[in-house]
C-alpha cells in the first residue's frame, strides 16, 4: 500500500507551458506539504495545508498554486513554466506536525 | 528564526570505518530534531528523531543543547549507508526546516 503517492513521476515540458502535479495520501493525516529539491539537493518547503486550509506559503512565485480538494489530496499547479523550475518536487504528509512522510517525488524538467 | 547547518556537503569513508555527520541548529525554543535519509532516487524517509533515542540501522544521534548540535554517528559504516542525509528541525507548528544535506559515500 503506497502511503504518499505522486503523479507523474517524470514530467518533461517546454518553457511557458502550464502543468500540474498530483499528490494523494492514504494515511489519514491532516497536514500535507510541497517541497522543492533543487539540483544541489537543497530541500525547501513551498506550501503546507492543514485540513484543506493553507497554513504555510513560503516565498514562492505566484505562478505556483496549490489546491487541496480534500485532506487526502494536495495538487500543485504551475503556470508559465521557466527553466529554473526544473527540480524534484516532493509531496509529504504529517500526522502531528513533526514527523513527515514523503512521496516518491516528481522530476520536472523544463526545456 | 530557526536554522539548520550541515557543514559537510560531501563525506567519504571506507567500509567499517566510523562515520559522523554533523548538524548544528539555531532556535530559541525547545526544538525537535530529526535525521532523514534519501537513498539514490528514492523518497526521503525518517531515520531517527531525538526524542525516541533509538538506534536505527546502527545510527545514533544525541541532542547537545549546549553546543546546539545533533550529530549522526555510526561506529562501522556499511556500503548500503551511502545516501543523502538531512538534518531537520521542527518548532511548534507545522514547519520542518532542513539542512542542506550531506552526501555520504561508503567505499568498499
pLDDT at A85 (0 to 100): 96
> For residue range B13-23, what is the model confidence (pLDDT) as tens digits?
999 999 999 99
Angle (CA) A86-A56-A28 rounded to 5° is 95
Q: B43–A90: do the CB atoms touch at under 8 Å?
A: yes
Q: How confident is the model at residue B68 (pLDDT cuts 50, 70, 90)?
A: very high
Q: Name the residue among B21, B32, B23, B34 with its Cα closest to residue B81.
A: B21
Whether B96 contacts chain A with CB within 8 A: yes
A33-78 per-position pLDDT tens digit = 999 999 888 899 999 888 888 888 887 889 999 999 998 999 999 9
B45-49: average pLDDT: 90
Q: What is the pLDDT of residue B107?
A: 96
Q: Which residues of B are less than 8 Å from A90 in CB distance?
A: 43-44
* Contact at CB, B43 and A103, closer than 8 angstroms: yes
Q: Are A49 and A39 a contacting pair, CB within 8 Å? A: no
Q: Does B56 touch chain A (CB under 8 A)?
A: no
Give the pLDDT confidence score for residue A34 in this predicted structure: 95
- Determine whether the interchain pair B46/A31 forms a contact, defined as Cβ–Cβ distance below 8 Å: no
pLDDT of residue A92: 94
CB A92 within 8 A of CB A37: no
Q: Which residue of B has its CA nearest to A107?
A: B41
User: How far apart are the C-alpha atoms of A40 and A61, rounded to whole Å?
Assistant: 20
Secondary structure in 3-state letters for chain A = CCCEEEECCEEEECCCCCEEEEEEECCCCCEEEEEEECCCCCEEEEEEEECCEEEEECCCCCCEEEEEEECCEEEEEECCCCHHHCEEEEEEEECCCCCCEECCCEEEEEC
Q: Which residues of A touch B5 (CB under 8 A)?
A: none
Provide the 3-class DSSP secondary structure of residue B9.
coil
pLDDT in tens, B70-90: 999 999 999 999 999 999 998
- Mean pLDDT score of chain B, rounded to an integer? 91
DSSP B78: -
Q: Are A40 and B100 an interchain contact pair (Cβ–Cβ within 8 Å)?
A: yes
Amino acid at each position: 500500500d503506497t502511503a504518499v503517492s505522486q503523479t507523474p513521476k517524470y514530467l518533461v515540458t517546454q518553457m511557458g507551458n502550464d502543468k500540474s502535479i498530483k499528490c494523494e495520501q492514504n494515511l489519514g493525516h491532516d497536514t500535507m506539504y510541497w517541497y522543492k529539491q533543487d539540483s544541489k539537493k537543497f530541500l525547501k518547503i513551498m506550501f503546507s495545508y492543514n485540513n484543506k486550509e493553507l497554513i504555510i506559503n513560503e516565498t514562492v512565485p505566484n505562478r505556483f498554486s496549490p489546491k487541496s480538494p480534500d485532506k487526502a489530496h494536495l495538487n500543485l499547479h504551475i503556470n508559465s513554466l521557466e527553466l529554473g523550475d526544473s527540480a524534484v518536487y516532493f509531496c509529504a504528509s504529517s500526522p502531528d506536525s513533526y514527523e513527515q512522510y514523503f512521496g516518491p517525488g516528481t522530476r520536472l524538467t523544463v526545456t | 528564526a530557526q536554522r539548520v547547518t550541515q557543514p559537510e556537503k560531501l563525506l567519504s569513508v571506507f567500509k567499517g570505518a566510523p562515520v559522523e555527520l554533523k548538524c548544528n541548529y539555531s532556535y530559541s525554543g525547545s526544538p525537535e530534531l530529526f535525521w532523514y535519509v534519501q537513498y539514490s532516487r528514492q523518497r526521503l524517509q525518517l531515520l531517527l528523531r531525538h526524542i525516541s533515542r533509538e538506534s536505527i540501522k546502527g545510527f545514533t544521534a544525541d541532542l547537545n543543547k549546549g553546543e546546539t548540535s545533533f550529530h549522526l554517528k555510526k561506529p562501522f559504516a556499511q556500503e548500503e549507508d551511502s545516501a543523502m542525509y538531512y538534518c531537520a528541525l521542527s518548532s511548534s507548528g507545522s514547519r520542518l526546516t532542513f539542512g542542506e544535506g550531506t552526501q555520504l559515500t561508503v567505499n568498499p
